[in-house]
Amino acid sequence: PQLVTCGYESVRFWRLHRGALTALSVPLQHHEGEMLTDLAIDSSADLGGGAHAESQRRLLVASSGGKVFQIDPSTYRLEYVFQLHDAPINAIHMSTGFAVTGSADHKLRVWPLDFREHLLEADHEGPVTSVSSSPDGLVLLVGTASGTIGTLDVASQQHTTLVRAHTASIDGLAVDPHNREFATSSSDGTIRVWELDGAQQQLVEFQVSSGRATALAYHPTEYALACGFDQGTVRKRLAARVGLGV
């Protein structure tokens, strides 16, 4: 298992060795001045599993310059750099067979994995800040700086703005892999859980007493939600339909 992080001019792979974390930085080959904003890695299960699939995995890293860096996670080598937007890419996501970028230029784009030309594009009323997908990968959920949540049906290419979910920017968005619901966090100081289907009704709201929840992730097997905060802390909460508990 590996931990991968990104930041200013930096992509690092981390391993736990004899009780200590060691890091290996990926040379970005003269792409100085880039803030690396988000990353996505494909699943070996999506590639068929096994050793061959593991060797075919790719890591995509988004940047403030509108670029995507493709890195081989087995060799730590930068393979390609793609210029995909004219503004910072705030969010990147991978599903089976395609990748998705969301940018400060208000655009969400769906790309084939060779990135030659986007397959579809959807404009939003504010900068796109976060992207996630339904468990089957067919519906994309999009959070924006204007506080709205949108959906994009990949098959029909139909884009819908669901709700003005928050009164400030949506900073985190995650879809539950086992239950038909998703969660959002915002600069307005709340974390909210929503239905994924139907009218996308709000199920519960949690007020953040200190700090700002900037990242969300559901546990892969438990019914729980991890929340990352701007103070550098992570809190795990039960994501029950009746409420969020510590």
Return the pLDDT at 45. Answer: 53
pLDDT higher than 70, residue 113: yes
What pTM value is reported for the model? Answer: 0.84
What count of other Cβ atoms lies within 10 Å of the Cβ of residue 70? 17
User: 221 phi and psi, to 5 degrees?
Assistant: -125, -30
Gap between the Cα atoms of 150 and 233, Å rounded: 28
What pLDDT, in 10s, does the model give residues 166-220? 889 999 999 998 888 999 999 998 999 988 876 678 888 888 888 888 889 898 8
Q: What percent of the chain has pLDDT over 90?
A: 42
| Spatial contact of 40 and 92, defined as CB atoms under 8 Å apart | yes
User: 45 phi and psi, to 5 degrees?
Assistant: -65, -35
Which of the two residues, 232 and 116, has the higher pLDDT score? 116
The set of residues, in sequence order, having a beta carbon less than 8 Å from that of 93 and lying 6+ positions away, is 40, 99, 100, 131, 132, 133, 140
Angle (CA) 33-43-48 rounded to 5° is: 140
Gap between the Cα atoms of 48 and 125, Å rounded: 38
What pLDDT, in 10s, does the model give residues 30-82? 888 899 999 999 875 555 545 545 567 899 999 999 999 999 999 999 999 99
* Closest to 96 (Cα-Cα) out of 52, 154, 50, 55: 154
Return the pLDDT at 242. Answer: 40
